[in-house]
Amino acid sequence: MNSYQNLSMSEQKAEYGAVRARFEAFKSRGLKLNIARGVPSKEQLDLSQRVLTDLTAPEDYFADGVDTRSYGLSDGLPCAKAFFAELASAPAENVIVGGNSSLNMMYDAVMRTMLFGIGGCEPLVKQGRLKWICVVPGYDRHFAICEQMGIEMVTVPMLADGPDMDAVEELVRDPQVKGIWCTPKYSNPDGTTYSDAVVRRMAGLKPAARDFRVYWDNAYCIHDVYGEGDRLAPIYPLAVEQGNPDLVLQFMSTSKISFPGAGVACLIAGPNDARDIRRLLAVQTICPDKTNQLRHVRYFRNAAFLKEHMKKHAEIVRPKFDAVLNALDAGLGGQDYVRWSRPKGGYFICLWVMPGTARRVVELAAEGGVTLTDAGATWPLHRDPDDSVIRIAPTRPEVAEIAAAAELLCVAVRLAALEKLMGQ
Ligand SMILES: Cc1ncc(COP(=O)(O)O)c(C=O)c1O
């Protein structure tokens, strides 16, 4: 193992000089790259262009006995419900199909629970102190919802096969704990996929609060990049089997399948929650954009077709993941103060740098022309207690750009580590 900690002061100084020189050389290249957010590349967006162009004649827009261009069906088009139901192994009658954003549906789900309650319970706003379980590292926008609504966030560590379920089971004994955010497949940012055992335990939770729900954000449900990818057990059948049909609220969208700005999202609830949500939704909207729902179903057809389509995405994304991983292997391999994830899919690679240096690494990378996700973003309230997690989102730029960005990142990681050790 090669470790900066084992170097003498003078060796550290010499190494610092060499790494600083490499950093300055990068700076002079005038890079201007952004690997901060999980956004598909133009090439990926182009894969689905026909979604927007295949349906042209007025009669193309008739489906399920309705003219999708008109009002009606506030919870979505039946064929779109069936489409998502197949993906989730859940009944179509539990599916509510909405607009383009699953995050929007998550926000609404929490907001509805705040205002109207869920499962016949008091609205959360009337219940005083509220807590939410946040698996860390996690998705910043989940945490932002809790932050905006004044919900206290309690962290649980992500282990190799999913959240620490001993900790989750302990926490849900507290009736003030009302939810948990989960990204069960290729979790954002570390790429972990929950094992069958973790999914089963999650589906079998016995929370003290009747209005506790598992918020199952399956944003990367079929986003395999390497081979067959990871397998995720469908949670709905496991929840039903363990007497918890209404425990889980699932979310999915086609944001990273077709278009983040013009896709289709859905919420899949248990039978009682779905009924209650439908009732509230009917007041909120007369209908979502059913024409877009239909365009998507006509183009993507079913899970089998979708799987083939996602292979085309994988062809584009894989060289980008490879570029990052190769650069990390070459630039940081053997350095024992740093490690990184090797996910089989999703949108992110996660890097754990020397504790106390993540902010500095992000700052140095920015100085060198590479924008990274803010350090701390993967923790509630932007507070990474170890200041060590960095999220890399390599999908949008060209392969050569990503390779250059990752190479600079490695130099920044080394420089920040040396600065820390030398007390600078
Ligand atoms: C875990 C996770 N959930 C949700 C979203 C956003 O989904 P949508 O575009 O459907 O709102 C993202 C986007 O990066 C994500 O990473």
- Both 231 and 318 in one domain: the answer is no
Nearest CA owner, ligand 1 atom 13 = 38
Pocket test for ligand 1, best of 145, 217, 223 (most atoms within 8 A of CB): 217
User: If you ran DSSP here, which 8-state letter would residue 63 be given?
Assistant: E
- Both 373 and 394 in one domain: the answer is yes
Q: What is the pTM of this model?
A: 0.97
Please report the DSSP string for 86-145 in residue order: HHHTS-GGGEEE-SS-HHHHHHHHHHHHHHH-STTPPPGGGSSS-EEEEEES--HHHHHH
Place of tokens 């859905």: 266
CA distance 194 to 187: 9
Domain that holds residue 406: 4-44+307-421
- CA-254 nearest atom, ligand 1: 10
Average pLDDT per block of 10 residues along the chain, 424 residues long:
80 95 94 92 98 97 98 98 98 98 98 98 98 98 98 98 98 98 98 98 98 98 97 98 98 98 98 98 97 98 97 98 98 95 98 98 97 96 98 96 96 97 88
Please report the DSSP string for 314-348 in residue order: HHHHHHHHHHHHHHHHHHHTTBTT-EE---SBSS-
pLDDT, tens digit, 9 for 90 and up, residues 389-407:
999 999 999 999 999 999 9
CA distance 171 to 155: 10
Q: State the helix-helix crossing angle for 78-88 and 290-300, rounded to 10 degrees.
A: 50
What is the model's pLDDT at position 2? Answer: 61
- Both 111 and 126 in one domain: the answer is yes
Centre of ligand 1 to C-alpha 21, Å, is 39
- Both 187 and 315 in one domain: the answer is no
- Both 109 and 188 in one domain: the answer is yes
Centre of ligand 1 to C-alpha 219, Å, is 6
- Both 275 and 327 in one domain: the answer is no
What is the model's pLDDT at position 1? Answer: 45
- Both 295 and 319 in one domain: the answer is no
Place of tokens 């590292």: 137
- Both 292 and 363 in one domain: the answer is no
**CATH number for position 237:** 3.40.640.10
Centre of ligand 1 to C-alpha 357, Å, is 27
- Both 27 and 136 in one domain: the answer is no
For residues 77-105, one letter each, b for 16 or more C-beta atoms within 10 angstroms of the residue's C-beta and e for the rest, the string is bbbbbbbbbebbebbbebbbbbbbbbbeb
What is the model's pLDDT at position 150? Answer: 97
Q: Beta strand 162-163 with 33-34: parallel, antiparallel or unpaired?
A: unpaired
- Both 237 and 366 in one domain: the answer is no
- Single residue among 306, 339, 365 that ends a domain in this structure: 306
Count the domains in the chain. 2
- CA-348 nearest atom, ligand 1: 16
C-alpha separations of 348 from 38, 191, 240, 254 in Å:
7, 7, 32, 17
- Single residue among 291, 306, 321 that ends a domain in this structure: 306
Centre of ligand 1 to C-alpha 124, Å, is 24
**CATH number for position 394:** 3.90.1150.10
* Pocket of ligand 1, beta carbon within 6 A: 38, 101-103, 139, 183, 188, 217, 219, 253, 255, 260, 265
Pocket test for ligand 1, best of 139, 145, 190 (most atoms within 8 A of CB): 139
- Both 36 and 54 in one domain: the answer is no
- Both 14 and 77 in one domain: the answer is no
- Say if CB 174 and CB 210 are below 8 A apart: no
- Single residue among 273, 306, 339 that ends a domain in this structure: 306
